[in-house]
């Protein structure tokens, strides 16, 4: 399938579809008039006598050097090649393709001054599944994601490296295999390709899409844990959350009430329970996970705007070609930091629920470490330790990146956003959180089954049955690593939330 991107109005749902499905993408043909108009203005400026940054001058600290019209193509090609300084592991294919689509959206606004042929070359790469090799390290998030985007531009001009069908080859070979011609860049076109926040934004969006599934998983596992330790549902009552008014908190409480409706385990201890209140990890789930949901929604709105933004420099307007600073990725850096906080806190409170369930002093008569024969068996003792390790790692990773500016480029670029590694670290945090929630699901399932003949709610029983399709109950100690990975996969792929019929969106 080929998705049509409408610059300025493409929403998160379409971007997630593109990221998950690997679809090709093209610009809405209605964008062409604005693109052609801006390109003509840049061409005229390149042929004129007035210095215009990046059109007939050098770049950055070298902006005072004039470039002759006959050297325009060389200038732009040199810019791409000299900026291909990325290092480290290669960005995954799905996020690379999302980055390319975001560059299309930005160029499609008609303020970058590139020819339509530049956009068509990106469309052709997507259509032929030519994926530029993008080293993930090297950007400080201003002036845009220079190094990563230069590696995209390199393939477009027949340089750099790409993968096609899993095979890695030179950019020239990749284009030739698809019958494509290397692009000769016109005035400002190299600059328009490497200026911009599309690498950082793509990485942040990919994490946001995963984080939304993880949050849904946390609602399911948190509800299961509440039933496993015979927790109270009174803290979920709507009047409590209405009095505070925080929308995420209200939504989380409502979802958990629905998930736990009809639990026989819950009804069995409404009367005569000597416990007055549950620990915060049970009682305050709406307040904590709801706050995380609100942060993610705010970050999502920021990233949706950024996905449709023009973030290169200079920009072509009706009032002329104007130098500005839209390439500074501070909004993306802030959004990434917010997502990191949400991920860390969802994991922190989930880990405490795991610790609660394996502790016989706190679990309300569940067997120690959730094994039927404690002593001979260690049960889920070390699975809980693993969650503690991952929780702590995520707390370290959640420290803000946006406050860590450093001057670059001979002090011309003296304040930068650090959005790139702020966004990249979110993928690792999502992986960690998936394991924490997967372990919680395993522990909660053991706990619920230990309450037999009492049974949980119909929705949670459906989740338990789906979990047991892949992961049998722990009767005796066994090699647990594959179980932990499979449980994490069930969370990451939204399978347990779907089994519960949970449709809430972050």
Angle, nearest 10°, between helix axes 32-47 and 116-127?
130
d(CA 399, CA 280): 24
* 253 closest CA partner among 228, 230, 232: 232
CA angle (410, 86, 182) in 5-degree steps: 110
d(CA 161, CA 155): 6
CA angle (278, 494, 450) in 5-degree steps: 40
Q: Which two tokens stand for residue 45?
A: 């400026």
The answer for residues whose C-beta is within 8 angstroms of residue 411's C-beta and 6 or more apart is: none
d(CA 166, CA 379): 41
* 115 closest CA partner among 27, 239, 206, 222: 27
Beta strands per DSSP E along 205-277:
none
d(CA 365, CA 450): 9
d(CA 189, CA 194): 9
Of the candidates 19, 25, 53, 222, the residue annotated as catalytic is 53
Residue 170's CB is within 10 A of a number of other CB atoms, namely 16
Distance set, CA 426 to CA 87, 334, 414 (Å): 19, 13, 25
d(CA 502, CA 311): 37
d(CA 320, CA 38): 10
Phi, psi of 374 (to 5 degrees): -65, 150
The answer for residues whose C-beta is within 8 angstroms of residue 249's C-beta and 6 or more apart is: 241, 286, 287, 290, 291, 294
Active site residue 53: yes
DSSP string, 424-451: HHHHHHHHHHHHHHHHHHHHHHHHHHHT
Residues 441, 224 contacting (CB under 8 angstroms): yes
Give buried/exposed letters for 365-386 (b at 16+ CB in 10 A, else e).
Answer: ebbbbbbeeeeebebbeebbeb
* 154 closest CA partner among 250, 56, 80, 46: 80
Angle, nearest 10°, between helix axes 116-127 and 146-156?
90
Instruction: List residues with catalytic annotation.
Output: 53
């Amino acid at each position: 399938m080929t998705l049509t991107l409408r610059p300025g109005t493409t929403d998160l749902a379409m971007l997630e579809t593109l990221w998950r499905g690997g679809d090709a993408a093209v610009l809405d043909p209605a964008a062409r008039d604005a693109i052609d108009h801006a390109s003509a203005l840049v061409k005229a400026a390149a042929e004129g006598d007035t210095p215009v940054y990046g059109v007939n001058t050098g770049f950055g600290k070298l902006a005072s050097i004039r470039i002759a019209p006959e050297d325009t193509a060389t200038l732009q090609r040199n810019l791409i090649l000299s900026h291909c300084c990325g290092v480290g592991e290669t960005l995954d294919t799905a996020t690379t393709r999302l980055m390319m689509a975001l560059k299309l959206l930005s160029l499609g606004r008609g303020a970058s001054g590139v020819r339509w042929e530049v956009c068509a070359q990106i469309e052709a790469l997507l259509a032929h599944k030519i994926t530029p090799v993008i080293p993930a390290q090297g950007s400080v998030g201003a002036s845009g994601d220079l190094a990563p985007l230069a590696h995209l531009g390199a393939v477009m001009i027949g340089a750099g490296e790409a993968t096609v069908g899993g095979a890695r080859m030179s950019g020239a070979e990749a284009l030739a295999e698809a019958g494509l011609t290397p692009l000769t860049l016109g005035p400002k076109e190299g600059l328009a390709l490497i200026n911009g926040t599309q690498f950082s934004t793509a990485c942040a969006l990919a994490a946001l899409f995963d984080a939304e599934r993880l949050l849904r998983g946390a609602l399911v596992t948190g509800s299961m844990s509440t039933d496993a330790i015979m927790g109270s549902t009174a803290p979920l009552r709507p009047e409590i959350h209405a009095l505070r008014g925080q929308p995420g908190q209200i939504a989380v409480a409502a979802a958990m009430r629905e998930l736990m409706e009809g639990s026989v385990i819950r009804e069995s201890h409404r009367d005569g329970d000597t416990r007055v209140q549950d620990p915060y990890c049970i009682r305050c789930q709406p307040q904590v996970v709801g706050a995380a949901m609100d942060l993610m929604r705010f970050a999502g709105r920021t990233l949706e705007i950024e996905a449709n933004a023009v973030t290169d420099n200079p920009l072509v307007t009706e009032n002329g070609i104007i130098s500005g600073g839209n390439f500074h990725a501070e909004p993306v850096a802030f959004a990434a930091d917010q997502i990191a906080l949400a991920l860390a806190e969802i994991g922190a409170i989930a880990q405490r629920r795991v610790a609660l369930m394996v502790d016989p002093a706190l679990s309300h008569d569940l067997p120690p470490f959730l094994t039927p024969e404690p002593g001979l068996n260690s049960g889920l003792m070390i699975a809980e330790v693993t969650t503690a390790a991952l929780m702590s790692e995520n707390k370290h990773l959640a420290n803000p990146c946006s406050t860590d500016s450093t001057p670059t480029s001979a002090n011309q670029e003296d304040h930068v956003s650090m959005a790139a590694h702020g966004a990249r670290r979110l993928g690792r945090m999502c992986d960690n959180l998936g394991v924490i929630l997967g372990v919680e699901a395993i522990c909660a399932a053991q706990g619920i089954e230990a309450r037999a003949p009492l049974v949980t709610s119909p929705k949670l029983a459906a989740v338990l049955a789906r979990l047991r399709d892949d992961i049998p109950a722990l009767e005796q100690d066994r090699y647990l690593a594959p179980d932990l990975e499979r449980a994490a996969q069930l969370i990451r792929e939204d399978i347990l939330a779907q089994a519960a019929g949970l449709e809430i969106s972050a």
